[in-house]
Amino acid sequence: MADVATKKLLENDRMIVWELLLEPGESTGIHTHEYDYMVHVIEGSTLRATDAEGNVNYAPLEKDDTFYFTVKDGTAWAGELATTPTHDAQNVGPGLYREIMVEMK
């Protein structure tokens, strides 16, 4: 199973900070979010999330979008936005996608 993002920037006893970079067509690989997490979009694009059962969702994410996901009972919730904690994310947009993610241990 893949890491939740491209590069781990910091880890301590309270959090893990990641950077995610996806060129058009690139994907993260199947990974699982075990912790609640915050995402801040630095460069936006459209991501296609595919869960372990093959269900697909599209998320157009724009620069400066920020979301906090609570992982509970097999779903990661950010308000009304929901995804499964186990998924693959692929950049299906025309440009680079870049985000900073903070997982709360």
Q: Where are the domains of the chain?
A: 7-104
Question: Residue range 48-77: average pLDDT?
Answer: 94
CATH among 2.40.50.100, 2.60.40.10, 2.40.50.140, 2.60.120.10 for 7-104: 2.60.120.10
- Residue-averaged pLDDT of the chain: 95
CA 82 to mean position of chain CA atoms: 12
Confidence at residue 2, expressed as pLDDT on a 0 to 100 scale:
86
- At 83, is the pLDDT very low, low, confident or very high (cuts 50, 70, 90)? confident
pLDDT at residue 80 tops 90: no
Q: What angle do CA 65, 71, 72 make, to 5 degrees?
A: 140
CA distances, 45 to each of 9, 59, 87, 105 (Å): 22, 8, 18, 28
What pTM did the predictor assign? 0.91
* Burial status of residue 45 (CB atoms within 10 A of its CB: 0-12, 13-18, 19 or more): buried
pLDDT at 92: 98
In this prediction, residue 82 has a pLDDT band, given cuts at 50, 70 and 90, of confident
34: nearest Cα among 84, 78, 85, 79? 85
pLDDT at 23: 98
Residue 70 has pLDDT above 90, yes or no: yes
Q: What is the mean pLDDT of residues 81-86?
A: 87
